[in-house]
Structure 1
Amino acid sequence: MTGWLDVDERDDHYLGLAGANISATEALLSTRDNLADVVEARAMMCVHGDAGLGKTLSVNASLRTLAAEDVYRVQFRARPTPRDIRHVLFDALGCSGRPPASPIEFDTLLKDVLAERPRVLVCDEAQWLSRECFELWRHLWDDRRTDIAIVFVGGGDCYQVLRREPMLSSRVYVWQEFRRMPREQVVQVIPAFHPVWANAEVDDIAYADVHAGHGNFRAWAKITAHTLTALTRLEREVPDREILQWVFSRLGGRRD
Structure 2
Amino acid sequence: MTGTLPPAAGDQYVPLPGAHIVTTRALLAARENLTDAIDARAMMCVYGDAGFGKTLAVNTCLRELEPGEEVRRIAFRSRPTARAVRHAIFTALGLAGGPPAHPSEFDRLLIDALSARPRTLIVDEAQWLNSDAFEYFRFLWDDYGTQLAIVFVGGQGCRTVLRKEPMLASRIFIWQKFSRLTPAEVLQVIPLFHPVWETATPEDITFADTHAAHGNFRSWAWLTAQVLTGLKRLRRQHVETDVLRWAFHRLGEA
Query: What is the CA distance between 1:84 and its match in structure 2?
Result: 1.0
Q: Does 1:103 align with 2:103?
A: yes
Hey, what's the Cα distance between the residues in 2 that align with 1:182 and 1:242? Answer: 24
The aligned counterpart of 2:89 is 89
- Partner SS for 2:174: strand
231-240 vs 221-230, which moves further: 231-240
Where do 1:1-256 residues align within 5 Å? 1-5=1-5, 7-69=6-68, 70-254=70-254
Give the letter for the 2:231 counterpart: L
CA contact (8 A) 1:10 1:17 kept: no
CA RMSD of aligned residues (A): 0.9
Please list the CA deviations of residues 92-151 of structure 1 after superposition, one character each: whole Å capped at 9, or x if unmatched: 101111100111110100010001111100000111101110110000000010001000
205-214 vs 233-242, which moves further: 233-242
Hey, what's the Cα distance between the residues in 2 that align with 1:116 and 1:42? Answer: 14
CA contact (8 A) 1:47 1:151 kept: yes
CA contact (8 A) 1:51 1:156 kept: no
- Partner SS for 1:20: coil
Query: What is the CA distance between 1:236 and its match in structure 2?
Result: 2.2
Query: What is the CA distance between 1:3 and its match in structure 2?
Result: 2.1
Query: What is the CA distance between 1:82 and its match in structure 2?
Result: 1.1
Hey, what's the Cα distance between the residues in 2 that align with 1:91 and 1:11? Answer: 20
Give the letter for the 1:22 counterpart: I
> How many residues are matched?
253
Give the letter for the 1:110 counterpart: L
Query: What is the CA distance between 1:26 and its match in structure 2?
Result: 0.2
Structure 2: give runs of 5+ residues left out of the alignment.
none
Give the letter for the 2:161 counterpart: V
- Partner SS for 1:121: strand
Query: What is the CA distance between 1:237 and its match in structure 2?
Result: 2.2
Give the letter for the 1:194 counterpart: H
TM-score (norm 1): 0.97
Hey, what's the Cα distance between the residues in 2 that align with 1:77 and 1:232? Answer: 37
